Amino acid sequence: MSDLQLIPARFIETEFLDHNSRFITSAGPAFSVEEAQKFISKIKTKYPDATHHVPAYLIGHGASTIAHCSDDGEPSGTAGRPALSVLQGSGIGDIVLVITRYFGGTKLGTGGLVRAYGDSVRNLLEALPLARRVATTTIMFVIPYPLFEQVQLIISNHFGRIRDKAFGADVTLTVRLADENVDSFKAKLTELSRGQVEFITLEKRDNTIMPLEK
């Protein structure tokens, strides 16, 4: 799936304890260094009394990726680099994260810190909802009530997102689709309705975060 250029679908936080030290990993999408820096500042403000805020981010995908990390006061090489290494192995880009540590009174040692910061990112990645950054088209159309359930299934099968529903004499739907799925979607609805559906294009966007799950 690496060719899909995966990104985070939204903001997420995970947490775990290691020898009474609390590690909170916050992550989300970022499409520029400036966005990543704003995210990092926001997390530092959210947890102002934490012992460390270890950041890492990857902007872009592949050879053009901008990578950054910092140990933020932890011993050199024990925090930022392990976190970034796990992130780089994930195949995900356009992502920023901050590992916030509250020291629990027990020193973890160099090896313990490397494991803890690496595990923080691994735990985060297991829970992270994924998306693609794609060009999209938002369309509006009207369907009769008897076709509503079938149309919802077609929307789901084309990874579309219903943006609005209006129930009157018929059902008016506003749907956002990745451009690559628009023609197939229209063909399916045209077939289902025997050519009775008319489509109105409301918006075209070059960059939209489209979750992978239906």
Same domain membership, residue 83 and residue 166: no
Same domain membership, residue 156 and residue 140: yes
Vertex 88 angle, CA 100 and 4, to 5°? 115
* pLDDT number for residue 155: 94
Same domain membership, residue 165 and residue 191: yes
* 198/200 Cα distance (integer angstroms): 7
Nearest to 185 by CA among 147, 210, 153: 153
Tell me which of 69, 99, 128 is where a domain ends: 128
* 10/55 Cα distance (integer angstroms): 17
Same domain membership, residue 98 and residue 25: yes
The list of the chain residues with pLDDT below 50 reads 1-2, 214
Tell me which of 128, 149, 173 is where a domain ends: 128
* pLDDT number for residue 3: 54
* pLDDT number for residue 214: 47
* pLDDT number for residue 116: 93
Measured between its terminal Cα atoms, the distance across the chain in Å is 16
Same domain membership, residue 157 and residue 117: no
Same domain membership, residue 171 and residue 124: no
Which domain range does residue 32 map to?
A: 2-128
* pLDDT number for residue 4: 65
Number of domains the chain contains: 2
Q: How many CB atoms lie within 10 A of CB 69?
A: 21
Same domain membership, residue 178 and residue 100: no
Same domain membership, residue 150 and residue 117: no
Same domain membership, residue 39 and residue 122: yes
Cβ atoms of 95 and 125 within 8 Å: the answer is no
**Residues 6+ positions from 182 with CB-CB distance below 8 Å:** 137, 139
CATH label of the domain that carries residue 110: 3.30.230.30
Same domain membership, residue 47 and residue 95: yes
Pairing of strands 95-102, 21-29: antiparallel
Same domain membership, residue 78 and residue 175: no
Nearest to 26 by CA among 41, 18, 34, 17: 41
Tell me which of 80, 111, 128 is where a domain ends: 128
Same domain membership, residue 94 and residue 139: no
CATH label of the domain that carries residue 177: 3.30.70.240
* pLDDT number for residue 159: 87
| Helix pair 179-192, 148-157: axis angle to 10 deg | 150
